[in-house]
Structure 1
Amino acid sequence: MRPHVATVGYSRVSTSGQDHRLQNDALEAAGCDYIVSEVGSGANENGRPQLQNLLAKLSPNDTLVVWRLDRLARSVKELIAIANNLSDRDISLRSLNELIDTTTPQGRMIFHVFAMIAQFERDLIAERTKAGLEAARSRGSQFGRKRLLTPAQIRQAQDWLASKKMTQAQAAKALGVSRATLMRAIALKLDASK
């Protein structure tokens, strides 16, 4: 007797504020026997335990269905590794948005083309973000946490310490910061002046 073959849907949202309904409705309409849903960042492989568990439990002739390829993986390398692992185990992969079905040669070819396009798009976004940050920096914008000490306060602390008027702890207390913050600020100023 042939073992039961399952069509399993997988949906993922990145944050708890997002909703699985759109993905799950599409997966149900595609005829999935059941759907595994999780909340977790695609950027962190350890952030998707439900996916790892599902991939381990799939059997030969099963089909894994996703709403979009980016729900399954965040890089072309990871996506191809998952697809190859599934193929080696005789498990099919279907992506509803990209109309990919790896049970056919055309589906396998389209899968690789879409995977490359998805990576290209992510690379373009990363380049635009980097260019935007560099342009903002060149206009004088500063990013990160606001500095707790002004350059004048750091010079004052250096004077106190050099003249031995105050200890590190006393100087930090006078400026309203921790000793570690004061010493880090002084070290950064010294590094910048080299």
Structure 2
Amino acid sequence: MLIGYMRPFQEDPKCEIQHRSLTKINCQTIFSEEHSSAKKRVQLKHMLDNLNQEDKIIVYKLFTIADSTRHLVELLDLIAKKGAHLQSISEGIDTSKTSGYAFNEIVKHLLEFQSDMISEKTKKGLHEAKQKGVVPGRPRKPDENVNRAIIMYQSKKYSLAEIKKETGISKSTLYRYLEN
């Protein structure tokens, strides 16, 4: 069965372009979200829950169905496990064709690449910051406040809330200093 899925986006806020494209392909059922938000996509969940073997989900663009590369990988895996397929009209992708399987693998590699690039840029930025003398992480609390908090705590005259109010030192920070 051919199943269309659409949700509003900037260039097609009322899903008119998507609907025309999906009806041209003769989708027997079309699921349409009422909003473009990534949250609470009721129709997507309903469609996936009722997906059968050999069904084909058809979307106008990939970002209609997926909110990120990782989400796309998860959806492709779920669709494949159910023995179904995905077709994206604009990108010319159809996982029911033999070249489609390669697409699943390509997306997984793109996801890894994306993660590796972010990780590498973060490491490089931290290294460069360290070279300039910048200390990574949250700034340390001034020692006089920490010492005052420890003295207040050890006196057993103050609650943790009172210590925090007076010194600005949270319970977790205080306990971390007490352990050292």
Distance 1:25 1:131, change over 3 A: farther
Instruction: State yes or no: 1:68 paired with 2:56.
Output: no
Deviation at 1:152, TM superposition (A): 0.9
The alignment status of 1:167 with 2:163, answered yes or no, reads no
Counterpart of 2:46 (choices 50, 53, 61) is 53
**Counterpart in 2 of 1:31?**
22
Q: Distance in 2 between matches of 1:160 and 1:106?
A: 69
Q: 1:112 to 1:106 in 2, by over 3 A?
A: same
Q: Which residue of 1 aligns with 2:79?
A: 83
Distance 1:119 1:96 in 2: 22
Tell whether the 8 Å contact from 1:98 to 1:114 is kept in structure 2 after alignment.
no
Residue 176 of structure 1 deviates from its aligned partner by: 5.8
Q: Does 1:150 align with 2:142?
A: yes
* 2:4 alignment counterpart: 8
- 2:85 touches 2:96 (CA, 8 Å); kept in 1? yes
Distance in 2 between residues matched to 1:132 and 1:22, nearest whole Å? 40
SS at structure 2 position matched to 1:8: strand
Q: Is the 8 A contact 2:79 2:86 kept in 1?
A: yes
CA distance in 1, matches of 2:57, 2:118: 29
The whole-number CA distance in structure 2 between the counterparts of 1:124 and 1:131 is 10
Cα 1:23/1:52, change in 2 over 3 Å? same
Separation (CA, whole Å) in 2 of partners of 1:123 and 1:174: 41
Provide the rounded CA distance (Å) in 2 between the counterparts of 1:107 and 1:19.
28
Where do residues 93-108 of structure 1 align in structure 2 (5 Å cutoff)?
93-108=86-101
1:140 matches 2:172:
no
Spell out the pairing of 1:176-187 with structure 2 (5 A cutoff).
181=170, 183-187=171-175
**Runs of 4+ more than 6 Å apart:** none
Separation in 2 of the partners of 1:155 and 1:102? Answer: 63
Q: How much has 1:36 moved relative to structure 2?
A: 2.5
What 5-or-longer segments of structure 2 have no aligned partner? none
Residue identity (%) = 13
The answer on whether the counterparts of 2:31 and 2:43 sit within 8 Å (CA) in structure 1 is no
Instruction: Give the direction of change, closer, same or farther, for the CA distance of 1:169–1:60 in structure 2 (3 Å limit).
Output: closer
Q: TM-score, normalised by structure 2?
A: 0.64
Once the two structures are TM-superposed, the CA of residue 62 in structure 1 deviates from its matched residue by 4.1
**Deviation, structure 1 residue 96:** 3.4
In the alignment of these two chains, the number of paired residues is 166
- What's the TM-score, normalizing by structure 1? 0.60
Unaligned runs of 5+ in 1: 13-17, 42-46
Q: CA RMSD in A?
A: 3.9
CA distance in 1, matches of 2:17, 2:112: 26
